[in-house]
Amino acid sequence: MFLTPEEQSLTAEFLEQGYIIRPVADRAALDWIRDQFVALAEEAVGAKNMLPPDAFLNQVHEHVPVAQLNDFRLRMIRGINAATELRQNYYKLARSYLDALVGNELAMQLRVNLSIQLPDDDSSLLPVHADTWSGDSPFEVVVWLPLVNCYGSKAMYLLPATEYAAFDRDFVRLQKTSSEEVYQSIAGKVKWLDVAYGEVLIFNQSLPHGNRVNTERETRWSMNCRFKSVFTPYGDKKLGEFFEPITLRAASRLGMDYRYPGTGK
């Protein structure tokens, strides 16, 4: 392969583990995203924040009861996705890593997602799953971004690639059970991914993953967005409906627009 030593190392780590955790490639873009959320949350709770941004987001459960969480989260999602700079700033956070792992002609999810998990709240759980089980393309990766330090039960878990073969052999039996039984079958093998603010996680969404009750004393805020190469196969989520090209190169643009002379085809 004609990859640089750094790209080869990143590729080997991603294939072996099923994920990488790295410092964000653009810290200013990250701080901009967090500042947007602080402003949106201040407006939503009707309180002027006098705390540092991380402390305010970590303690937002003091302002938002569980019964209001879903409405609050949807308001945050609408607000952040209305910001025209969001998707470009989100891409900047992981651009060099995506170039190495996915390619430099990318399609990006149209709307970036947000997860907010209050302490001891069991209403916001994401049961064990792989995105490909519900129609996502195996050519996608997820860029997962914490807006606060995510650790322990405040983080997400992933079944590492090294453990997947055994799970795959047992999947026919497991798919007839509940999601909780599936989780319990791999609970001792999953990796809890501690990701600090200032870092970004990129993972293979074909691997089982999810979260559990957040037993830490802080609220989890994390974002996620899918990226894939424009010219790789799509699943149920299509180009133009769910994905949008963001880095098409000149030769691809010319090729897509080419018509043989005199034919109009």
- How high is the pLDDT of residue 203? 98
Is domain 5-228+241-257 classified as CATH 2.60.120.620? Answer: yes
Q: Encode pLDDT of 218-257 as tens digits.
A: 999 999 999 999 999 999 999 999 999 999 999 999 998 9
Q: Encode pLDDT of 60-71 as tens digits.
A: 999 999 999 999
Report the alpha-carbon distance of residue 75 to residue 89 in Å, rounded.
20
Q: Is the pLDDT of residue 264 over 90?
A: no
- How high is the pLDDT of residue 5? 95
* Mean of pLDDT values over 112-118: 97
Q: Encode pLDDT of 150-180 as tens digits.
A: 999 999 999 999 999 999 888 888 878 898 9
- How high is the pLDDT of residue 176? 81
Average pLDDT of the chain? 94
- How high is the pLDDT of residue 172? 83
Nearest to 47 by CA among 58, 55, 39: 39
DSSP 8-state secondary structure symbol assigned to residue 121: -
- What pTM value is reported for the model? 0.94
* Ranges 142-146, 171-175, 184-188, 261-265, most confident: 142-146
User: What totals of helices (H) and strands (E) does the chain contain, helices first?
Assistant: 9, 10
**What percentage of the chain carries pLDDT values higher than 70?**
99
- Contact criterion met (CB below 8 Å) for 231 and 105: yes
* Mean of pLDDT values over 112-122: 96
List strand residue ranges (DSSP E) for the chain, in order. 19-23, 106-109, 113-117, 141-146, 156-158, 191-193, 199-204, 209-210, 220-229, 243-245
Q: Name beta bridge partners: 23.
A: 199
Q: Is the pLDDT of residue 81 over 90?
A: yes
The full set of domain ranges for the chain reads 5-228+241-257
**11 pLDDT tier (thresholds 50, 70, 90):** very high
Report the alpha-carbon distance of residue 199 to residue 76 in Å, rounded.
21
Report the alpha-carbon distance of residue 202 to residue 182 in Å, rounded.
23
**What percentage of the chain carries pLDDT values higher than 90?**
87
- Contact criterion met (CB below 8 Å) for 108 and 227: yes
Residue that has been written with the tokens 């129609």 in this structure: 135
